[in-house]
A and B are shown apart, each in its own frame.
Chain A
């Protein structure tokens, strides 16, 4: 069964550094998402991406965050200058199209900011 894959599985970064989290969505999916889960808390929506542009973003997704689909397969989340509170599990998800659920999730990248 097709899967969403995320790399790396664990990323350790110094505060203030830039980090890029990578995702390969399911190949025929058109709608992409990033979510995060701080340890012990709810999974929170960050951003959705469709037709090469941001479709929706949350208050969390401020100017320090950006997303890109640099080629036909990858979908990336960049955090420009990481803060301690960015430490979390980051999940990528994809769905076939607008209005088509469910969303399929990757295994996540655990981001640890020191």
Chain B
């Protein structure tokens, strides 16, 4: 398998707290993307980080990438109840393939 696991599998926090989710992978990547999925809905693209980047920000989201450890983390700051969803990392791998390989995801619950 090219993709590792995300951890934690589930995360429950209070509104206003920060949420950190981690993702690991096994082979060299072109880029790593984070997606969000509300229950029963489609995948919404959040942020993309390229293999030559180490950190990226978008609003309350911060993504880091450590290619030496083959891992990434997604930080959501000042969480809101509306952030409750499943979060997936997905990678495209070197070698010309365009397909995304997804992790199992982290189910985030933000309690009001």
Contacts and interface: CB of A to CB of B under 8 A. Distances in A.
B60 interface: no
Interface stretch (B14-22, B63-71, B77-85, B99-107): B99-107
B44 A105 contact: yes
Interface of A: 4, 31, 33, 35, 41-45, 48, 50, 55-56, 58, 91, 93, 95, 98-99, 101-108, 110
B99 A33 contact: yes
Interface of B: 3, 31, 33, 35, 40-45, 48, 88, 90, 92, 97-105
A45 B48 CA distance: 18
11 contacts: A42-B104, A43-B43, A45-B99, A45-B101, A48-B98, A101-B48, A102-B48, A103-B100, A105-B42, A105-B43, A105-B44
A103 B42 CA distance: 12
Contacts of B45: 102-105
Contact of A56 (B33, B35, B98): B98
B98 A44 contact: no
B88 A91 contact: no
Q: Which 9 A-B pairs have the closest CB atoms?
A: A107-B42, A105-B43, A43-B102, A45-B99, A102-B45, A105-B42, A42-B102, A102-B48, A108-B42
A43 B31 CA distance: 17
B41 A107 contact: yes
Nearest to A110: B40
A99 B100 contact: no
In this complex, which of B43, B48, B102, B104 has the most chain A Cβ atoms within 10 angstroms of its Cβ? Answer: B43
